[in-house]
Amino acid sequence: MIGDFDVDENDVITTPGTFEGEPRYAPSIYRVILNGLQDSRDNEYGERRDFVLVTKEDRKAFPELNEVYAVEIYISKSGFCYSVPYTEAEYRAEIEALQNIPNQEEQAR
């Protein structure tokens, strides 16, 4: 875990800072990204999107991830973390959509 956080009755982080307002699992998923174990894709604006596949260990530590296949973590330019949970079907559809985005060279033609 990255630091200690206060959470509310819905397991949402209330401690001010990067993870404020995010589920309690967000710092743990973010740590995976810091270790380089994510699937990174660029969107149509050239922004990096990081996806982490949820493991059995993640589900054991965070039961709220039981129905989640992957989590996308995005850190805004102002330094705030945003997380998006995906089912397997949602994740595969999102990855397919990102693969169909023309790269910047193709868009310039």
Residue spans of the domains in the chain: they are 1-91
Better pLDDT: 104 or 72: 72
Question: How far is CA 24 from its chain centroid?
Answer: 13
pLDDT of residue 49: 84
pLDDT of residue 101: 67
The rounded distance, in Å, linking the Cα atoms of 25 and 65 is: 8
| CA nearest to 69, candidates 94, 36, 48, 45 | 94
Please state, rounded to an integer, the average pLDDT across all residues of the chain: 87
pLDDT of residue 42: 74
Cβ–Cβ < 8 Å for 83, 76: no
Judge whether residue 105 has pLDDT over 50. no
Which residues on adjacent β-strands are paired with residue 74?
82
- Long-range CB contacts (within 8 A, 24+) of 7-16: 11/64
Does this model's pTM top 0.95?
A: no
